[in-house]
Amino acid sequence: MPNITRLALYSVRCIFYALVPLLVLGAAIAVSCVLAFFIMKGVGDVIPFQKMISKSTQLLLILSIFPAMKLLNIDKEQLGFAARPVFLKQLLQGLGLGLLTLLPIFIVLYVLKINVFDATKVWTLGSVLAKLGYTLFLALLISLIEEPLFRGILLTGLRKKMPIALSIVVSAVYYSALHFLDNNVDISAHDVHFFTGFKLLKGAFLNVFNPMMFSSFISLMMVGIFLGIVRTQIKTSLGVCIGCHASWVWQIKMSKILFDTNIWSDYIYLVGSYDAIVGPLVTGWLLLEIIRYFVYQRINKSR
């Protein structure tokens, strides 16, 4: 078989496997739309309809990890989980890595007066510690859900079917896109019918391609690439990814509590529209860290 034909077939195969997670996501959202309809009709406006779809989708995606592990013949270690003592150590290492990689960003944002301390709030040592503990708990919960999904089953499954670099990028694209797959429309229970969720999907998917969010999309994609590199460079390192992710979310949540965003800053273009943090500055900084890591690796190997 000519090399060009072989390459074409391999490319088609990679594209196919890159689209498989999209089919799984579509199926999870479709089931969630139906579930949300029946839940809304049963309990009323206790939970916003859109949020009901979002949380149901997340739950179904998490549950899909187990059949996917069996289908792809992936065990706990291949997924990235180390033994418990090592995993706990990795969590702490990840928290430290998260501080080292994101804290400089917040220092720059403060120096450039993009983040301005909210002087209207009165803080005590107890209230600060309470906020620190609560936001850390939420951050760990988020990362314990997202990392096994994206740097666990998704990245591991893609690595079986395509080159490592491509699998990292594809998983990072899905990770970033899922943050923007949303439609902030409030719908009351009496306006909800069977196909309402499916109609909302159009706006949700269009939001992924919202040009106003482009810099934030690239930034979150770089976050996914960074975590993907951590996962693939260190064996059974999902604990490090979870800790690092949690540390980032923790810092972002605390920043939102302690600071306001100065939209009139001359440097506001350094942050994106998604959360006024992830944007060009984060993208450039993480890219620099990735380059620095691989340069360091090459220098070490040449010695």
Single out the residue of 144, 143, 164 nearest to residue 155, CA to CA: 164
Domain range annotation of the chain: 3-302
Cβ neighbours of residue 177 under 8 Å, at least 6 residues apart? Answer: 208, 217
Q: Identify the residue whose tokens are 């439609």.
A: 183
Alpha helices in the chain (DSSP H): 3-43, 49-63, 65-71, 76-79, 84-111, 125-147, 155-159, 164-180, 196-208, 214-233, 238-258, 280-302
Q: What is the pLDDT of residue 44?
A: 67
For 257-288, the pLDDT digits (tens) are: 999 999 899 999 999 888 889 999 999 999 99
Q: What is the pLDDT of residue 180?
A: 85
Q: What is the pLDDT of residue 104?
A: 94
Look up the pTM and report it. 0.91
Q: What is the pLDDT of residue 279?
A: 92
Q: Which residues of the chain have pLDDT under 50?
A: none
Q: What is the pLDDT of residue 171?
A: 94
For 27-74, the pLDDT digits (tens) are: 888 888 888 888 877 776 667 777 788 888 888 888 888 888 888 888
Cβ neighbours of residue 204 under 8 Å, at least 6 residues apart? Answer: 181, 182, 183
Q: What is the pLDDT of residue 108?
A: 95
Single out the residue of 175, 186, 158 nearest to residue 68, CA to CA: 158
CA distances from 72 to 67, 159, 236 (A): 9, 11, 17
Q: What is the pLDDT of residue 282?
A: 95
Q: What is the pLDDT of residue 172?
A: 95
